[in-house]
Amino acid sequence: MSIDYFGALKAFVHAAESRSFTEAGRKLGTTSSAIGKAIVKLEHELGISLFHRSTRAITLTAEGQLFLDRSQRILSELNEAKIELAQIKFAPQGKLRVGLPQFAIHLMPKFIEFQKTYPDIELELSFSDQLVNIIEDGFDIVMRVGQIIDSRLKVRHLHTYQHLLVASPTYLIENGIPQQPSDLIHHKCLRYRYPTSKKLVDWGFIHGQETTCTIPVSAITDAIEPLKTMSESGLGIALLPNFMVKDSIRDGKLNIVLNDYIQDDRSVYILWPSSRQSLPKIKVFIDYMVNSFRESFN
C-alpha cells in the first residue's frame, strides 16, 4: 500500500488538533472520508493506532500523542524550509561561489563593498588562472578572459583592456630604454606562464616584430601580482594589464616602454549557468560587477 507521507501527516495533525476528521477535511479542502483513509494508511504503515474512535468523537492514543508532537515539528520544519526557499527566490541571499582570474584580486575593495551591501550573501571567491568547468565544478559565476561558447551558459561582456610593457625608472636608468622590440635581447624580461598549458604569454608585438621565442627570460611566474612587484622593484620589464599598473604609472613607480609596438587587447566576460539566471544573488552580483569594471578599469 503506497502512502503519501506528508499528506498523511498533514491529515493526522489537523485531525488531532481539531479532534475531527470533518474539520480536518474542511481545512485541507477534502472530505472526512479521505482524511480517514489517509490516517488508516498511516496507522497501517506505523503498525499502531493513533486514535480512539467512537461514533461521537476521536481522541488520541498515547502513541498518537507522541507521534503528534513529532509530526508537528516535522511540518513546522517543512514550512520553514519553504519560507526560506521563497526568500532565496525573491531576495539576494545564500552562498555565491565565484571563480575569478588572479588579476581580479585588484577588485577586492569592490568585493568587500558588495558583501557589505548584501550581507545575506555568503561570498566564496576562488582566484585562479586555471580553467574550470563552471557547472561540474559547482560555480555560480565565473569571470574569464576570452569568451566561451556553451549553450548551458549565459554570457555578459564586462570590459576590454590592454596590456602594457612597463619597467621602473630605476631599471631604465641603469639598463637603458628599449626603442624597438629587438632591443629586448639586452634586457631582463619578466614573463608570465599559463598555469594550465605552461606556455609563456606572447607579448603581442605588431608590425611583424619579434615573437615570444626571441624574448629573453629573467624570471617566470604563474601569477600576475608578483610580476608587478618585481617590475616596480627594478628587476626588469613586464607585460601587465593597463588597469593593474595605471596607479603605479601615475605615481612614477613604472614607465611604459615600446608602447607603439604592442597590440594586445583582451576581453573580460562573466559567465553563469542559464538554469540559475533568475536567482537574485546572481542578478545583483552581475550588475555590481558591470559597474565595478566601469568604475575601476576605465
Q: Are 185 and 237 in contact (CB under 8 A)?
A: no
For the chain, the domain total comes to 2
Q: Are 165 and 239 in contact (CB under 8 A)?
A: yes
| pLDDT tens profile 114-162 | 999 999 899 999 988 777 777 778 889 998 887 677 777 888 888 888 8
C-alpha cell belonging to residue 31: 472530505
**Quick one: 56 and 163 in the same domain?**
no
**Quick one: 173 and 296 in the same domain?**
yes
Q: Would you state the pLDDT for residue 89? A: 63
Amino acid making up residue 247: D
Domain end residue (candidates: 46, 61, 90): 90
Amino acid making up residue 257: V
**Quick one: 176 and 54 in the same domain?**
no
pTM: 0.59
Domain end residue (candidates: 90, 107, 123): 90
How many other CB atoms are found less than 10 A from the CB of residue 259?
11
Evaluated on CA atoms 88, 89, 93, 99, the torsion sign reads positive
CATH code at position 69: 1.10.10.10
Structural domain that includes position 137:
92-298
Whole-number Å distance between alpha carbons of 79 and 71: 12
Highest mean pLDDT among 89-98, 155-164, 203-212: 155-164
Domain end residue (candidates: 90, 120, 149): 90
H or E segment to which residue 141 belongs: strand 141-145
Average pLDDT over the chain, rounded to an integer: 85
Q: Are 189 and 298 in contact (CB under 8 A)?
A: no
Whole-number Å distance between alpha carbons of 182 and 189: 12
Give the residue among 249, 254, 190, 256 at the shortest CA–CA distance from 223: 190
**Quick one: 22 and 165 in the same domain?**
no
